[in-house]
Amino acid sequence: MRDPVHKANRKIWRDGAFSEGTRLIPEETALALTYNGGTYAVMMGTPEDLSDFAIGFSLNEGIVQSADEIETLDIVELDDGIELRMWLRPDKAALIAERRRHIAGPTGCGICGIDSIAEAVRPAALVPEGRSFSPREIMTAIAAVAPLQEINHQTRAVHAAAFWTRTAGIVALREDVGRHNALDKLAGALARDKVAAGDGMVLLTSRVSVEMVQKTAAIGAPLMVAVSAPTALAIKTAEAAGITLAAIARADGFEVFTHPERIAATMVARESVYVVVA
């Protein structure tokens, strides 16, 4: 399998002069997801944890409802990319024929290629109530992400998606040049290990767009925490899905945009945004 990290030569301009050097950068390659012999999507991503990506993408796109519906999964190296070759149960073949689309996606493209506005802004799955969390637990969880980002430590150029529980801490963490890909990989890892998503929170090193909420809802996590801000549509979607959305998580606190009742603390409302200071 291809190395997810590549060494690049570079010239460095600093202090009025050039010097020579190398830098580790993330690899990026075309990833084709095929089902029952036909291409469904082509995404650009990091060639790491590809089985998790294939399973998580399939679940988050609604192609399968369970990882068990994927009968075989092969990772096939090609000259110009990698094919994630899946064969589904026969009863899923008709669904694939109806929904098949061809995507030539830029890095981490979440919904590019969808030709229906209704599909792009489809309602997210309703998330069960799940457990509640304290502000201290949220701060502990988000602080645990950065030390585990091995590829980002080398390259400073990839996103991470992680899952944290009260009893185990970080259960799984996946990285990719695309934030959507990282979350799909996390979904696949959780599904393969049959992790109960209602017991923990999804952690993101990126901004929160609507498709990130849709994917978190498909995972079934009651809380998502991101280091950057959400979009207006992401907030609306999280509210409707029953997800607690916390964002702009920093060392000194975070902001809660939806369903603050899951966070056991006294909060001050500031123009419909609940601000928590650790």
Catalytic residue list: 109
Three-state secondary structure along 46-114?
CCCCHHHHHHHHHHHCCCCCCHHHEEEEEEEEECCEEEEEEEECHHHHHHHHHHCCCCEEEECCCCCCC
Give the integer Cα–Cα distance in Å for 255 and 253: 7
Give the integer Cα–Cα distance in Å for 262 and 276: 13
Within the chain, residue ranges assigned H as helices are 50-60, 93-99, 117-120, 135-143, 150-155, 179-192, 210-219, 232-241
Contact between 231 and 210 (Cβ < 8 Å): yes
With CA atoms as reference, report the closest residue to 174 among 200, 151, 140: 151
Give the integer Cα–Cα distance in Å for 223 and 198: 9
Give the integer Cα–Cα distance in Å for 277 and 251: 9
Looking at residue 272, the DSSP 8-state letter turns out to be: T
Give the integer Cα–Cα distance in Å for 53 and 186: 8
How many CB atoms are closer than 10 A to CB 210? 22
Edge-to-edge strand list for the sheet holding 29-35:
70-78, 81-88, 29-35, 38-45, 104-107
List, in order, residues 6 or more apart from 104 with CB less than 8 Å away: 42, 113
